Structure 1
């Protein structure tokens, strides 16, 4: 009798939802975030950004680039791409400094690119951060 009860319990679990866990393959998730302490600056001030990249499948080696979009509505790279100042197997921390001389409203984002091919995005883009220059 015990064998029948255990067998029925296993069948009930499999038909009730565990099939999803044993079914399709898992998808790795990665993300990039970018932050700045100041959303409004004056012309010529240095704007400091901090970013974090994470990958639950293990972080690949990458450089991180800062991109800006102004009134022309096209994203373009600002400065040189940087290596993370701290990285472990799952996350990487990076920083950027930018100086804006023109007044206006700008959007910034970060992307992670391959070490060999800087046009090949591995991570990102991050959600944009809006900054006003007065």
Structure 2
């Protein structure tokens, strides 16, 4: 294989999903995922606004909250993007905060698309 080729990590950590499903079944996981995605959409909007207003504390606080939720759902790339957003210094937030939020929004779209079929169906039913 090519030395610089690394297979992409799964959008959702299958072990986390398996563990969650063992706790409450597929419907439970689907509900958690739907709640996570709804919360994430609100956080992305709040981070976008905070970046535009130069509100460093809010930008970081929103990123921190979403990072914790992403960890619970096994959304590793979302977790990493949030950690990077939390680590941004004020000048970076002013200059590149919106771009970081756009990357986060794109990754959340990948999470939505990567849901197992049962989760997607349950999410649409609610």
Structure having the higher Rg:
1
The TM-score, its normalising length taken from structure 2, stands at 0.28
**Higher relative helix content:** 2
**Higher relative strand content:** 1
